[in-house]
Structure 1
């Protein structure tokens, strides 16, 4: 059996309650006492019984992460960071795939398959502010993505419009004026697409470049096949584009494939940029210029927000703040597909 709180207390020469305060992160322990207890914890290799602790606190130690597509690399990479951040708190993560279907997203909001969880991190596509406001489940909730901005709950996302504007400005700075965009979606709830296309149009307008709808084909989904198909359509135009901004990296990878198989040289004949900085784009030929959201930060902040709702008021003895909007960091990474080796 592992060491108990009583064993740690005896070695440190303090009470069991003091050891418990240190283990549980309470602040009212003197630095000298905390140091003694931490030395004893390390010497005895103390491991807390998380199941027993959760039961005492009325918790399960389980949170849920609900995402549209688990096989999309962006969401797979984000999931890894959420699991890492949650494991630092001793939490297990239950994964739910919604496929972006309204009925599945409403089920998630009403309770994840009747599973007892302490909190939910949710990236919705279909449900909006109305469904969130009508939610009766009191489980702690943090939203990701762009579906609900300034909504009734905590939310973490990057500024998609500004980021899309920056990558389009990069293409303009290279001297291109005929710039296509792959990723337009006609569904009113497709906020990610709308924001990224708004940034693209803003950059064109600022540069005095007319918007040409023929260069912005619609797509129902954001997969490699969609990018490949739409790039083929763009290349058939009487005046094909000089540059292509894709609303995610999967579209961009498909577009690259079509360009290369059509005999074009990237970036000499056409340049391509994506969005999301998935690992595939770092090893494509050529490597892909992209917008890189700070996925680790998004996951960390989401878990911290969830922790504040689950445990914050108990730890700090005060009311929690209202819904918060946090803008996560991102950066434009310029690679070979726009001319940088």
Structure 2
């Protein structure tokens, strides 16, 4: 049977009220009694009744996490950080996938009854402004990702324009000039959608060093960014006779598919074509060659989202909703580091070093 407050009180020789005061951090308990209670709690391995505590506070101790898919390791890794961060504060996380469909995302924010969840962390791909307006959402919501909507909810993201610029500039700094961009989604017209933002950063880096953009180098994809998308995009690109010496893939899975396509065509990475990805998934660290990538701080993304949501749930976060950008960094690995560093190829950036 589980240990009760009465058991602890008997072991410590104090009242049940005193035990409760110690557990809840009340200050009006003598140091001597507090030490006895804490020792008894430890000896009896007391576990608090979280269900009763949440019931008294009108909460259930469960938050929802809705992501587009679990097959993408990036979302799986972020989910893990959310689960760990919530667990440290005695909350359970219920994970669901939406497929990036608006109907499914609306179910998350409207169909999951408040009696089941205290709040939701959502990575939306298709929701519109009207779906998240005041009065339509019954529980606190924190948004993840780069679908920016003018709505009264906290939003945790990374600066995709700056990150894509950094990825492209890395290739330019190494002397590459014919840089393909893989991952523009034409099925999503929103200019704040992730692929549009990453394309903007790519174009900014080219423009800064005086290289004109070439539409032939911008390859579109549909639906999710997976290995097959990267593989087929590269096969199409080379089938059209487009000359490239480097490839910026808008996520790591496509980059891994691109490397396989290049290998199947008898090309070496990075000796013939350099490849850079985005997300820093674990698989990229152990690929051959290992993948150069943009690494968002996924741990901080998850922890920030949980802190914001629990702050809204528990009433400790009373500032206006805000959008915060989580840091990222460039991780240089083998897929870009095998090309020559000096000579004529570096001159393209001599005025921008």
Same fold (TM over 0.5): yes
In the alignment, what sits opposite 1:208?
Answer: 210
**Does the 8 Å contact 2:18/2:29 carry over to 1?**
no
Corresponding residue for 1:58?
Answer: 58
For residues 274-289 of structure 1, the aligned pairs below 5 Å read 274-289=277-292
Structure 1 residues 35 and 202: CA distance shift in structure 2, 3 A: farther
Question: Which residue in the other structure is 1:165 paired with?
Answer: 165
2:231 to 225, 228, 231: 228
- CA distance change for structure 1 residues 41 and 114 in 2, over 3 Å: closer, same or farther? closer
Structure 2 residue 327 is the aligned partner of structure 1 residue 329: yes
Q: Deviations over 1:66-98 (max 9, x none)?
A: 111121111111111211112222222222211
More displaced, 157-166 or 82-91?
A: 82-91
Alpha carbons 1:128, 1:147 under 8 Å: kept:
no
**Pairwise mapping of residues 286-325 of structure 1 onto structure 2 (< 5 A)?**
286-313=289-316, 320-325=318-323
Q: Is the 8 A contact 2:65 2:122 kept in 1?
A: yes
Residue in structure 2 matched with residue 316 of structure 1 by the alignment = none
TM-score by length of 2: 0.87
Q: 1:338 aligns with which of 332, 336, 339?
A: 336
Taking the aligned partners of 1:169 and 1:19, their CA distance within structure 2 comes to 60
Per-residue deviation at 1:111?
2.8
Q: How far off its partner does 1:2 sit?
A: 3.4
1:255 to 243, 254, 258: 258
1:25-174 alignment, distance < 5 Å: 36=35, 38-112=38-112, 116-133=116-133, 135-148=135-148, 151-174=151-174
Give yes or no for the alignment of 1:273 onto 2:276: yes
Residue in 1 aligned with 2:201?
A: 199
1:103–1:16 distance in 2 versus 1, CA, 3 Å: same
Q: Calculate the aligned-residue CA RMSD, in Å.
A: 2.5
8 A Cα contact 1:129 1:152, kept in partner: no
Q: State yes or no: 1:188 paired with 2:189.
A: yes
Q: CA deviation at 1:309?
A: 1.1
Instruction: Find the aligned partners of 2:207 and 2:47 in 1 and give their Cα distance.
Output: 59
Q: CA deviation at 1:4?
A: 2.8
1:242-296 deviation digits (Å, cap 9, x = unpaired): 1100000111011000111111110010000000111211111111111111111
Q: Distance in 2 between matches of 1:298 and 1:35?
A: 37
Unaligned runs of 5+ residues in structure 1 are 314-318
CA 1:295–1:15 in 2, change beyond 3 Å: closer, same or farther? farther
Structure ID, larger Rg: 2
Task: Give the Cα–Cα distance (whole angstroms) in 2 for the partners of residues 204 and 15 of structure 1.
Answer: 72
- Output the CA distance in 2 between the equivalents of 1:196 and 1:223: 17
Deviation for aligned residue 1:35: 6.9
Give the whole-Å Cα distance in 2 for the aligned partners of 1:337 and 1:31.
63
Quick one: distance in 1 between partners of 2:189 and 2:13?
64
- TM-score (structure 1 length as normaliser): 0.89
- Tell me the CA shift for residue 149 of structure 1: 5.1
* Structure 2 unmatched ranges of 5 or more: 340-353
Task: Confirm or deny: 8 A CA contact 1:107 1:113 kept in the other structure.
Answer: no
Report the alpha carbon displacement of residue 38 of structure 1 after superposing the two structures with TM: 4.3
User: 1: distance between equivalents of 2:18 and 2:26?
Assistant: 11
8 A contact 1:294–1:329 mirrored in 2: yes
Secondary structure of the equivalent of 1:234?
helix
